[in-house]
Amino acid sequence: MNAATAVGATLLLMLGGAWLVAVFDRIAAALVARRPVGSLWLGPLQSGASLLVSRTNQTEHPDALNWALAPALYLVLAFVGVALVPFSTSGALVDIPAGIVLWGAVESLTVVAVFLHGWSANALFPLLGAYRYVAVGLPIMLVSMFVLIAAALPAQSLALGAIVQSQAGLWNVVRQPLGLPLFLLLGLSLTLRGPFNYADSADLAGGTDAERSGPPRAVWQWARLSMAVSFSAMAATVFLGGPLGPAWGTAELGPLWLTLKTAVVLALLVAASHLLARMPPSRMLTLLWTVLLPLSFVGLVAAGIEAAP
Amino acid sequence: MNDLVSGIDIAFWALAAIAVLSGWRVFSTDSMVRASFLLLLSFMAVAGIMLLLAAPYIGVATIFMMAVEMMVMAVFMVMFMMNPAGLNPMSMVHQQPLAIGAGVVAFIGLSAAVLTSPLPDQPVAADHRAIHALGIEMLGDSMLIFESAGVALLSAMIGSVILSSRSGRFGPADPGSRPPGLCEGGLPAGSVPDENKNHGMGHGMQHDTPNAAPQDTHGAHGAQGS
Amino acid sequence: MTLQALLIVASALIGLGLYGVLSQQSFVMLMMGFELILNGVLLMTMAFWSFGSAGAPKGQLLAILVMAVMALEMAIGFALVTAVYRQRQADTTEALDTLKH
């Protein structure tokens, strides 16, 4: 597929996926609270539109440049993540030999974007949210890199196309059972959801987004949803076989399978964000460094032993 | 073919300009957090140049590592700098003419060395599998170098934790880490950490230091009259 | 994009970093100068690898070692800054003057 089609498909996946995440959020919230869901399909669009017409808040001496750039950076990173994903066996929009490492760079720059968003407001709760997020977001990145390296071992390559090809016999979610659950935790952290929502949490009155209203808030929330799509596409590629499907001989069905698997991972992500318990930052840090990181290392060692020739 | 070469050239000069300009702005901006992220921008420009040089792994790994490093640097900026947001601009430089002279001399000296010495000319092939070659080399012939780097990183981790631990080598670090008093010889700003909580970390050692007595640099705590 | 152009850009980064190291009073800004110098060194390494060694893998290994040195220097540097602040409440180089004549 040529570049224009690929860009169009990427944008379509991002926009449609962001809408789908918002819809899933509404369904999950209604299920958890046991009340009927309101306007399911138009609700996200309505709340976005209402944000677009409200007034933008100002604080005293904000870092205006970074306050405007942070949501834009977050959006660009989400786009880069989706651009890395191979839509079909013919390749991805951004096809570099070190695709996994570029995704790692996207993760670390996400932490930078969230910190800048909280820092720039020059207000207390956003800054607290940014600091808490940095403390938790950096270690969870280590967990994700171990998990991704474990997925790259059977493929003997860091490129996402090769990782997809290596799952032609058996998907990585079966071959490396620790991989997808740990990667989902990273997804919660990247999209500021669930137990990893230290940046925008309710106990900080909205955290990094507390002082924001109007169009910039709409852009930030949209960027969070787009990052969920980007993460889910990456998880579907690395663990669920990406564009591979029963009829993968025909390259045209590849995007369909990828979209379906992305939707499945999105549903898992939203479910995890509403069902997992939250903990104070200190306890989460203990869990990260003493339980999750050794678990990911065990998974890496197991994958290495299994992939050794 | 000529178009493709000049496209790479334009990209290279643009990235080089970004790298040098943002590197200069690191030291001339008021906001310290902006300084650390400007340095990140400089690193990202250099990483872009490395991608142009057909080294994809090194380029992307530079972005990855430097993003995390500059994030930690920004946190340290806020910890140790007087006005991290640049709201009260102050110039904290010393021996500026000497520094400018040294920088210019270094640049001119290195450039002269570059321009006058015969440089090698064996360009890397366009379809060279750089990551594969790096992997085979790193875990094959140069395994000792790689493992030594790993051990060095481990010792740096242990060393940095020891150097900055709260129960320091010469006594607890609490007296030194408390901020100075709000007025001369008064109570320190912020909360005073509890001396005996979490002390000993399982060793059961009891320190004999008197309760919450900062060092003389802050004046005798409570010893003066009100 | 010749080897000479790359090396001159890297020299500019090294010169800027050296200016930063010598002119900044604050420890953290001094370390930013070090990082800039290592940035220039990293670019020089990769330039020589790409233009002068026909892709010998030891060049990339040297670049990885430079990155490891960056990480090491920053970790130990910040640990030292923390330790010296706790001992003497010094956060600028001007405050450490016990060895001054």
Instruction: Tell me if B23 and C36 make a contact (CB, 8 A cut-off).
Output: yes
Q: How many domains does chain A have?
A: 1
Name the residue among C14, C39, C81 with its Cβ closest to that of B43.
Answer: C39
Distances (CA, A) of A10 to A13, A20, A85, B217: 5, 15, 9, 61
Q: Smallest Cβ distance to B137: which of C15, C61, C68?
A: C61
The contacts of residue A296 (CB under 8 Å, 6+ apart) are A142, A143, A144, A146, A147, A150, A178, A182
Helix (H) or strand (E) holding B171: strand B171-172
Residue B29 lies in a domain: yes
Can you give the CATH number for the domain in which B51 is found? 1.20.120.1200
pLDDT of residue A230: 95
Contact C26 B80 (CB under 8 A): yes
**Interchain CB distance below 8 Å, C48 and B125:** no
Host domain of residue A261: 64-303
**A abuts C (3+ Cβ pairs < 8 Å):** no
- Residue A213 contacts B, CB cutoff 8 Å: no
CA B133/CA C63 separation, integer angstroms = 14
At B12, is the secondary structure helix, strand, or coil? helix
Q: Residues 82..121 of A with a Cβ closer than 8 Å to B: which?
A: 96-98, 101-102, 104-105, 108-109, 111-112, 115-116, 119
At B196 the pLDDT is 54
Q: What range does the domain containing B19 cover? A: 1-82
pTM: 0.89
Mean pLDDT in runs of 10 for chain B (226 residues)? Answer: 74 95 92 93 96 92 95 91 80 89 96 92 84 89 92 94 79 71 72 56 45 43 41
SS (H, E, C) B56-93: HHHHHHHHHHHHHHHHHHHHHHHHHCCCCCCCCCCCCE
Q: Measure the N-to-C terminal CA separation of chain B; round to a whole number of Å.
A: 82
Handedness of CA A183, A189, A192, A197 (dihedral sign): positive
Task: Copy the structure tokens of residue B202.
Answer: 């399982």
B60: distance to nearest CA of chain A, Å? 6
Q: Do A109 and B67 touch (CB under 8 A)?
A: yes
CB B48 within 8 A of CB B55: no
Does the beta-carbon distance from B76 to C81 stay under 8 Å? Answer: yes
By DSSP bridging, strand B171-172 and strand B167-168 are antiparallel
In this predicted structure, what is the pLDDT of residue C55?
A: 80
Q: Would you kindly state where each structural domain of chain C is located, as residue ranges?
A: 3-89
Q: From CA B124, how far away is CA B101, in angstroms rounded?
A: 37
- For chain A, residues with pLDDT lower than 70 are 1, 247-251
Domain membership of residue B226 (yes or no) is no
CA distance, residue B202 to nearest chain C CA (Å): 23
The partner residue sitting opposite C52, judged by closest CB among B50, B120, B125, is B120
- How many structural domains is chain B composed of? 2
- Residue A42 resides in a domain: no
- pLDDT value of residue B200: 45
Give the number of beta-carbon pairs within 8 Å between B and C: 257
Q: How many CB atoms lie within 10 A of CB B140?
A: 10
Which of B37, B40, B46 to mutate to test binding with chain C, by most C CBs within 10 Å of its CB?
B46
Which one of A61, A97, A112 has the shortest CB-CB distance to B87?
A: A61
Option in B107, B130, B136 nearest C15 (CB): B107
**Which class is domain C3-89?**
mainly alpha
pLDDT the model gives residue C96: 86
First to last CA, chain C: 50
> Do A97 and B85 make contact, defined as CB atoms within 8 angstroms?
no
